[in-house]
Structure 1
Amino acid sequence: MDDTPYQLPVPLTALRAKAAEAGFTLSCEDRTGSLLAVLAAARPGGRILELGTGAGEGAAWLLSGMDGGSRLTTVELDDTVQAIAREELGSDQRVTFVAGDAGAWLDGFEGAPFDLVFADTWPGKFTHLDRALELVAPGGIYLIDDLLPQPGWPQEHAASVVRLLAELDGREDFRCVRLSWASGLLMAVRVT
């Protein structure tokens, strides 16, 4: 079976071209994106949080799966890179872009929990993990990627991944599944 996604969000071509022009190479992998679209589609009227907008490929996948009543908040530290996403996706009224440090945003956020949290940056994954997990609604999904070894990883990063996976697997308030697929994923569902 071929697991190459065949339903690509329309904005991907423009997002990829502009990301390449900007030298941004850390965009969402297509198989991860297709999973994001399916998870967003499973949450009609859902509240979705993306930590790490990058150039907007993950957001494009999420928006492609969301219904009209769903809302996406996406946070990115690098305003220049996020500007690509805002330019291509900003006319969609379902998305709110936040330019700033995701850790500071997590610390200061006081709104309702989210049905889906995609942590695609350090805050919410390697830092501020407990706070990100607090923001997952009961029955909600927490998804992280980039867990398989990647070229350019600092030597100590592999140990950070091992610690993170052990911490998530040990939690009683989430049920986790590891997926040795795409860039390496872990999906967790809040059970309490």
Structure 2
Amino acid sequence: MSPRRSAADARETRQRILDLSLGIASAEGLEGLTIGRLAAELGMSKAGLLGHFGTKEALQLAVVDEAAAVFQREVPGRVRQAPSGLRHLRAVCEAWVSYLERNVLPGGCFFTAATAEFDGRRGPVRDALAGMNALWRRDLRIHIRRAVSFGELPPDTDVDQLIYDLLGVMLALNHFLQLERDPAAPHRARRSLDRLLGGR
């Protein structure tokens, strides 16, 4: 086998591990990732699986990165062409609702589940989750401030409060979809967003 083919096979195997791990972690938490379980489901040896990551913590961190890549593709990545300002903020929020509504991951919002699992701990995984959440709040802050500067939101808009409220809507949506299995939850989330961002 050529070195190039060998490297491609290694990347493909690593991606298979990440895809399975992300699905499990979204539904059962990052602690649900055991090397034995993953190896058995993928038909690999434990040593072979660990060879791609080294430690369970390194695997967990890689899953956090993979979850961020999926979210980036499914939410901001879907609305890149939306005009700047309030229309972009609305488009981002609609893509966010759609992401949860379409059940892209079997357990709903990975970051909601993982944050609840790790928010009271210390260490690299908790720090990675906090960092990803901070980056997303930064992006929302940029969109809100642009909408204010364009005169599309009131000049006295409390940006941090609006971010808090938007996150609250999405946390509630994830809860009602995952725990309550409420089919009306996306509609309720959209109504809440209209109240926060102004009706169309």
TM-score with structure 2 length normalisation? 0.26
Structure possessing the higher relative contact order (Cα contacts under 8 Å, 6 or more residues apart): 2
Rg bigger for which structure? 2
Task: Answer 1 or 2: which has greater helix percent.
Answer: 2
Task: Answer 1 or 2: which has greater strand percent.
Answer: 1
